[in-house]
Amino acid sequence: MLFKQQALLRQKLFVLGSLAIGSLLYLVARVGSLDRLQPLCPIENRLGPRGRADFPARALQFKRGLLHEFRKGNATKDQIRLHNLVQQLPQAIIIGVRKGGTRALLEMLNLHPAVVKASQEIHFFDNDENYARGIEWYRRKMPFSHPHQITIEKSPAYFITEEVPERIYKMNSSIKLLIIVREPTTRAISDYTQVLEGKERKNKTYYKFEKLAIDPNTCEVNTKYKAVRTSVYTKHLERWLKYFPIEQFHMVDGDRLITEPLPELQLVEKFLNLPPRISRYNLYFNATRGFYCLRFNIVFNKCLAGSKGRIHPEVDPSVITKLRKFFHPFNQKFYQITGRKLNWP
C-alpha cells in the first residue's frame, strides 16, 4: 500500500518535472515567433520615468510606430539623424550554451530600458561565410538604438566553435561575455530532443539517446557525441580563457532562471554595469503555463512558455547515472574556474 503510494508520488513528480522541462523547451521554440508582437514594445516606451517625461504622450505614440519601422531596417538617413539612432556593435554577447536558455535570457534582459536585443541569431563569428562579409555587415545586422543603450546579441554556437574567441577578441577585446548553463546531463538530453524533433519532421531515422551517449564497445560515455561534448563546459571555457580574462565572463544559472528569474537577472545587470531596472513588476508567474511571463509596461506583456512543450524521452536511469558521474569532475573544474558553485549532482 505504502509502496504503491510512493510509486504514485514518484510518477507525479516525474510528470511535473517533465512539464517544467517541456515548458522551457516550448519557451525556447516559441519565443522567436513572438518577436512579431514587437510593435507594441518599442525601446522608447521602456526608457523609464526620465525618458517618458521627455515626450508628450502623442509624440511617444508616434515614436512607437516609427521605431518599429526602423527595426525593419528601412529608415531614411534623415529619420535616423533626427532621432539620433545608431546601429552599434554589441557591447555584450550571449555566447551559449545551446539549450541553456539563451533565448529566455535575451528576452528577459530586453526588459531593461537600456538594453536592445538583436532578434535573430546572427552567426557572424561561427560562420566563415558571414565572417568574410566583414564587421560592417555585422553592424548592419544590429537593431537601431540610442547611443546610451547597449546592444546584445546571442548565438549559442559561438561557445563551442573553435575560431570564435579570437574573432570576437579582434572586434573588441574588452567585450562582456554571458554564458547560460544548465545541469549538463539535462542539457545533453534537451539537445538530443531538439535534434530528434528535426529528424522526426523530416521522417528520418534516429537512434535512441542511450545508443548515442554510450559507446557500445566500451560501455562508457561516448565523448565523441556532440550533445555530450557541448556539456563539458570547462573544456570550451578554457579555450576562451586564452583570449579573455575570467572577469569578462558572467555565468548565468539557466536552471534558476526558470524558477527564480529576478535574482539571476539582477546579477547580470550588475555585471553589465546597468542600473537595476528589472523588477518584480516585469516578471509574473503564470500558473497555467507554469512559467514566468514578461511585463514590459501596462499594455505590453509577453509569455515565454506554454505547458505543451516537448516531452523529453525517458532515458535509462543507469545512463543518466553514468553521464552524471562523467560530468562530475568537469563540473568541479568549472565551478573552480568561474567561482560560481552550482548545485549539480
Annotated binding site for 3'-phosphoadenylyl sulfate: 99-103, 182, 190, 292, 308-312
Give the C-alpha separation, 120 to 152, whole Å. Answer: 11
Which is it for the CA torsion 194, 250, 141, 162, positive or negative? Answer: negative
- Interaction of residue 176 with ligand NAG, rule CB under 6 A: yes
Cell triple for residue 207? 537512434
Report which of 108, 103, 135 is spatially closest to residue 119, judged by C-alpha positions.
103
Member of 27, 31, 43, 75 binding ligand NAG (CB under 6 A): 75
Nearer to ligand NAG, 83 or 333 (CB): 83
Nearer to ligand NAG, 262 or 293 (CB): 293
- Interaction of residue 35 with ligand NAG, rule CB under 6 A: no
CB of 311 to ligand NAG, least distance (A): 17
- Interaction of residue 210 with ligand NAG, rule CB under 6 A: no
Max Cα-Cα span within the chain: 77
- The CB density around residue 118, as the number of other CB atoms within 10 Å, is 19
- Interaction of residue 172 with ligand NAG, rule CB under 6 A: yes
Provide Rg for the chain, Cα atoms: 21
- Interaction of residue 293 with ligand NAG, rule CB under 6 A: yes
Give the C-alpha separation, 282 to 50, whole Å. Answer: 18
Helix (H) or strand (E) holding 18: helix 2-34
Give the C-alpha separation, 314 to 214, whole Å. Answer: 15
Nearer to ligand NAG, 254 or 309 (CB): 309
- Interaction of residue 197 with ligand NAG, rule CB under 6 A: no
Q: Which residues contact 50 (CB under 8 A, 6 or more apart)?
A: none
Q: Which of 12, 63, 77, 99 is catalytic?
A: 99
Nearer to ligand NAG, 86 or 342 (CB): 86
- Interaction of residue 111 with ligand NAG, rule CB under 6 A: no
Confirm if 176 and 91 have CB atoms less than 8 A apart. yes
- Interaction of residue 174 with ligand NAG, rule CB under 6 A: yes
- Interaction of residue 288 with ligand NAG, rule CB under 6 A: yes
Give catalytic status of residue 302 as yes or no.
no
Q: Which residues of the shown chain bind ligand NAG in the complex (CB under 6 A)? A: 69, 72, 74-76, 79, 89, 91-92, 172, 174-176, 203, 286, 288-289, 293, 303, 306
Catalytic residue list: 99
